[in-house]
């Protein structure tokens, strides 16, 4: 069974400052890793994901995450945040095994609050 821990429930940060949202996972099998973002009154949308290859993955809006297998982490970073980045961020994993039904295991979410 897998589990995901997002260590911070809320992260307040000033505009243009860097930010890191932490995600650790536990799994006995290989996993795929995802970050989803949920803006107020909207559904979740994919920010980025790691499937294979380079352990550093990037999104189109300046976020990046690095898969660290030894530390079982997939932390999300952005060097300079904007007010519009205010949202809830969810880390998720899925089992790479052939029996997987597309099931995602989510963390509890981190609320990023960007202040002017």
Q: Among the candidate windows 34-42, 53-61, 65-73, 75-83, which touches another protein by CB under 8 A?
A: 34-42
Nearer to another protein, 81 or 109 (CB): 109
The closest alpha carbon to 33, from 41, 25, 21, belongs to: 25
| Cβ nearer to another protein, comparing 36 with 63 | 36
Window 56 to 95, contacts with another protein (CB under 8 A): 90, 94-95
Residue from 58, 83, 108, 115 touching another protein (CB under 8 A): that is: 108
Which of these, 88, 91, 114, 97, lies nearest to 18 by C-alpha position?
114
Q: Which of 4, 46, 2, 51 is CA-nearest to residue 23?
A: 4
Q: Give rounded-to-5 percent helix, strand, coil for the chain.
A: 5, 50, 45
- Judged by the rule CB under 8 A, the positions of this chain that interact with another protein are 4, 32, 36, 41-46, 49, 51, 90, 94-97, 100-109
């Amino acid at each position: 069974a897998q589990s995901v821990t997002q260590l911070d429930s809320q992260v307040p940060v000033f505009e243009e400052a860097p930010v890191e949202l932490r995600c650790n996972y536990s799994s006995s099998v290989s996993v795929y890793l995802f970050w989803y973002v949920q803006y107020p009154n909207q559904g979740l949308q994919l920010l980025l994901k790691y499937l294979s290859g380079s352990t550093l993955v990037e999104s189109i809006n300046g976020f990046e995450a690095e898969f660290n297998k030894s530390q079982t982490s997939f932390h999300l970073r952005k060097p300079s945040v904007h007010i519009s980045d205010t949202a809830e961020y969810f880390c998720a994993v899925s089992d790479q095994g052939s029996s997987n039904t597309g099931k995602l295991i989510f963390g509890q979410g981190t609320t990023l609050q960007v202040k002017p």
